[in-house]
Amino acid sequence: MAHYLYVLQSVSLNLCEHRMRTSMDPYSQEQRELLQSLRQTAFELESEAPAGNFSTERRRSLCAKEFRKLGFMNNSNPAEDLRRAPPGLLALDNMVYFSRNTPNAYSRFVLENSSREDKHECPFARSSIQLTLILCEILHVGEPCSETAQAFYPMFFGQDHFFEELFCICIQLVNKTWKEMRATQEDFDKVMQVVRDQITRTLALKPTSLELFKTRVNALNYSEILKLRQTERLHQEETLAVPVLELRERLKPELLELIRQQRLLHLCEGTLFRKISSRRRQDKLWYCRLSPNHKVLHYGDVEEGVESPPIESLTEKIPVADMKMLLVGKECPHTKEKSSGKQNKDVLELAFSIVHDVEEYCLNFVAPTRYEFCLWTDGLNVLLGKEMTSERTQTDLDVLLSMELKLRLLDLENISIPDTPPPIPKPPSNLNFCYDFSHAEQ
């Protein structure tokens, strides 16, 4: 469904492609009339003066002045501003749509800025051309449909003129952001970068309608963007700064040793395994654990229901000194027997073997879970003096490094830290304060 909607969106947006890639023809009468309609809509009263009252040169001067107020760079021939493709004529289409469908907002935008000091006016035409290009880039207008992309915007399907309506919202956002930044002409690129950021962040929230988009994008004002950027920059500086990277490297050996001790402690506690017969029948249980001095592995059969047998009841032993290597997955002898595909795959992911003794006997394991597999293979590698290689090791290391770095980077100036940890409070007399969800399900 997501792919279907994405294709629909791409096809619809690509209808704009021709206009986007078509540059302005300075001799096209239709486009000349559209440009004149923009000027006349914005400056109705001034344009109503009888043409006979002005000479040709005077009329040209008046038109050039009004096109300059509209924000065209080339006010004597505004068509030149539209020759760049993209956005091409799509920018003109957007400006005309804005002026005809929201004339009050259009007039307010133009007249408000034409009355400002020159250095503080927000150029409507220049902003519209750049905004159209930004929207084309964000929405991938003109690019071929993707068969794998999943990004689509539900609000797209609720409007007949989605792109133009989106432009109408965003061009007013440009003016709002321009005022919030107290921008001048030199700040034009900075303002447009902020607007791009506002649009991108709001679209990432997947608003379901243009009204919701409008509400959210206007709430994301310039000060909010600054806060978000500062937070992201600080986070990036904290994690990528050279001193922080050096601190990470210094902390790694200590934390890896902590992980090693945890793995050995888990082996000392032991785990219940199931024996796999030649027919893959899970019919017997056995237990394996490491001695407290880390010198001997004890193992033996146990009865169903026994969770943690005492080490004395485990009659079989393997001295750690006699362990030669650790095998995992396909390398294990007990995984080489043929069986059904799914079962064999499950066994491969959880199987490991200890090669021991002079005659290279193997003690074969199939861990009950992936978690147990990671802890046991890590612990056995520690006993063999090798590196811990499981994915769990990296996960645990990342968590510990993150916590330790945050503690080390805390601002603790003038804060006294006690030498001993605070006492652990006694457990409550009952747990009646906990909500019983079973009643809600009935």
Instruction: Return the closest-CA partner of residue 203 out of 155, 251, 271.
Output: 155
Task: Please check whether residues 292 and 215 belong to one and the same domain.
Answer: no
Please give the model's pTM, rounded to 2 decimal places.
0.53
Alpha-carbon torsion 254, 255, 261, 263, what sign?
A: negative
Give the CA distances from residue 386 to residues 312, 326, 383, in Å, rounded to whole numbers and listed in that order.
29, 10, 8
Considering the domain architecture, whether residues 68 and 206 belong to the same structural domain is answered as yes
pLDDT of residue 442: 47
Instruction: Please give the pLDDT value at position 128.
Output: 93
CA distance 389 to 385: 12
CB contact at 8 A, 81 and 73: yes
Q: Which residue has the tokens 């994690």?
A: 239
| 246 domain residue, yes or no | no
30 and 148 inside one domain:
yes
> What pLDDT does residue 11 have?
43
Return the exposure string of 211-225: e unless at least 16 CB atoms fall within 10 Å of the residue's CB, then b. Answer: eebbeebeebbbeeb
- Are residues 62 and 184 located together in one domain of the fold? yes
Say if residue 214 is in the same domain as residue 263. Answer: no
Cα 393–Cα 293–Cα 371 angle in degrees, nearest 5: 25
Please tell me whether residues 216 and 311 are part of one structural domain: no
Q: Whole-angstrom Cα distance, residue 46 to residue 70?
A: 14
Q: Are residues 289 and 210 in the same domain?
A: no
Whether residue 204 is contained in a domain is answered as: yes
Whether 305 contacts 341, CB under 8 Å: no
CA dist., res. 154 & res. 139, Å (int)? 13
Which residues in the chain land under pLDDT 70? Answer: 1-27, 44-55, 85, 117-118, 147-152, 234, 237-240, 277-283, 337-344, 358-360, 412, 434-442
425 in a structural domain: no
Domain annotation covers residue 239 = no
Q: Write out the residue range of the structural domain in which residue 112 sits.
A: 1-220
Q: Do 214 and 265 belong together in one domain?
A: no
User: What is the DSSP secondary-structure string of 53-71?
Assistant: GS-HHHHHHHHHHHHHHHT
Same domain as 198, residue 306: no
Residue partners of 132: CB distance under 8 A and separation at least 6: 20, 86, 87, 90, 91, 94, 167
Instruction: Please tell me the total count of domains within the chain.
Output: 2
Flag whether 348 is in a domain.
Answer: yes
- Please compute Rg for the chain using Cα positions: 36
153 and 270 part of one domain: no
Examine the fold and report which residue of 190, 220, 250 is the final residue of a domain before the chain moves on. Answer: 220
Q: CATH number of the domain at 280, please.
A: 2.30.29.30
The model's pLDDT over 56-74, given as tens digits with 9 standing for 90+, comes to 777 788 888 888 888 888 8
